[in-house]
């Protein structure tokens, strides 16, 4: 009898402790995401809308701006995420060597970009990459290029600026995860490999990467999800331009809802494209990890 009263108490307390958070998540996450699903079947502008079936999906497939935003977003994460992950891994491995001098200094410096707000660093990059700005000056002075690069006015180079900017901001962040994971790797494995004459590069690919696979997978997922939602940088560095060269899905949703005559149903449909992509990527990456583990 006493036991059941205790259990009931624990039950009540269990619900009481999580209730405020659950209510807020219900109101501000679950309800909106369901509402958004329902909205994606509605057509019309402003607050006048009616059921339109798959009309929004049809509009999506014939919308060149959407397709451009989708392509740009994919280019950003396909190019940027691997570059950043590899850089972060290399830095982490280099900084994990206890015989290296100035480790603390290097680590702090590479991590420092994480402290800036996305808007602040975007503005910095915009000013550094202006037509006759400091980056072009350096490149011209060192004769790496003969003519200034049209960073923000050329569709190709504008994408490069965005990729450079994100890489600058997030490499140190990912590096911290690898450094933390490397501390848990047994040093004697490396020692044994060294004695057996395994070269450094092979130690990196044969020991470090397999050991860090879970955390590499994890950082790849969060980086990809982050890049799929890219907004602050493109809105502040290029405003999606030139043309639509750096328009991303998030920026397009924002424009559809808040810059043009709002079409909530269509915005919701575009936003579900991001939801589906995030879901597919997460599932795919987990499956790859599981398969590798099985065959290993």
- Chain residues 270-289 in contact with another protein, contact rule CB under 8 A: 271-272, 274-275, 278-279, 282
Residue 149: cis peptide before it, omega within 30 degrees of 0: no
Supply the minimum distance, in Å, between the C-beta of residue 128 and another protein. Answer: 6
| Residues 6+ positions from 172 with CB-CB distance below 8 Å | 88, 91, 110, 111, 112, 113, 114
Q: What is the DSSP letter of 42?
A: E
Please provide the DSSP assignment of 184-212 as one string. TS-HHHHHHHHHTT--HHHHIIIIIHHHH
- CB closer to another protein out of 215 and 245: 215
Sites for another protein among residues 72-131 (CB under 8 A): 87, 90-91, 94-95, 97, 100, 105-106, 108-121, 123-128, 130-131
Torsion of CA 173, 253, 29, 46, to 10 degrees: 160
Burial readout 204-223 (b: 16 or more C-beta within 10 A, e: otherwise): eeebbeebbbebbebbbbbb
Choose the binding region for another protein from 20-28, 55-63, 205-213, 286-294 (rule: CB under 8 A).
20-28
Determine, following the binding rule CB under 8 A, whether residue 16 of this chain makes contact with another protein.
yes
Q: Which 156-175 residues touch another protein, going by CB under 8 A? A: 168, 172-173
Rule CB under 8 A: is residue 153 a binding residue for another protein?
Answer: no
Segment 189 to 218, residues that bind another protein, using CB under 8 A: 200
Determine if 235 is a binding residue for another protein (CB under 8 A).
yes
Name beta bridge partners: 43: 50
Which helix (H) or strand (E) segment is 144 a member of?
A: none
208 or 271, CB closer to another protein? 271
Distance linking the first and last C-alpha atoms of the chain: 52
One residue of 14, 53, 210, 243 binding another protein per CB under 8 A: 14
Q: H or E element: which one contains 154? A: none
CB of 126 to another protein, least distance (A): 7
Specify the residue, 81 or 296, whose C-beta has the smaller distance to another protein.
81
Q: Using the minimum distance from each CB to another protein, give the nearer residue, 90 or 289.
A: 90
132 part of the interface to another protein, by CB under 8 A: yes
Residues in binding contact with another protein, number by CB under 8 A: 94
Of the pair 87, 211, the CB lying nearest another protein is at 87
């Amino acid at each position: 009898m006493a036991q059941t009263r205790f259990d009931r108490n624990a039950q009540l307390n269990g619900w009481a402790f999580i209730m405020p958070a659950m209510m807020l998540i219900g109101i501000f996450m679950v309800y909106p995401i369901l509402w958004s699903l329902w909205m994606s079947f509605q057509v019309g502008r402003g607050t006048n809308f009616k059921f339109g079936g798959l009309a929004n999906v049809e509009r999506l497939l014939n919308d060149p701006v959407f397709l451009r935003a989708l392509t740009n977003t994919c280019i950003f994460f396909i190019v940027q995420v691997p570059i950043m992950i590899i850089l972060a891994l290399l830095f982490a491995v280099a900084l994990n060597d206890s015989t290296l001098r100035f480790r603390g200094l290097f680590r702090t410096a590479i991590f420092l970009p994480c402290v800036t707000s996305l808007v602040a660093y975007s503005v910095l990059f915009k000013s550094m990459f202006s037509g006759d700005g400091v980056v072009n000056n350096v490149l011209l002075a060192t004769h790496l290029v003969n003519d200034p690069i049209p960073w923000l006015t050329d569709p190709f180079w504008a994408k490069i600026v965005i990729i450079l900017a994100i890489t600058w901001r997030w490499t140190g962040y990912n590096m911290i995860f690898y450094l933390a994971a490397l501390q848990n790797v047994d040093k004697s494995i490396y020692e044994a490999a060294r004695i057996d004459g395994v070269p450094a590069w092979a130690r990196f690919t044969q020991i470090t990467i397999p050991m860090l696979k879970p955390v590499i997978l994890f950082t790849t997922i969060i980086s990809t999800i982050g890049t799929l939602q890219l907004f602050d940088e493109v809105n502040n560095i290029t405003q999606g331009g030139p043309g639509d060269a750096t328009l991303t899905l998030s920026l397009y949703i924002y424009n559809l809802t808040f810059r043009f005559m709002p079409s909530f149903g269509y915005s919701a449909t575009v936003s579900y494209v991001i939801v589906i992509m995030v879901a597919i990527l997460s599932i795919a990456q987990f499956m790859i990890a599981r398969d590798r583990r099985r065959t290993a």
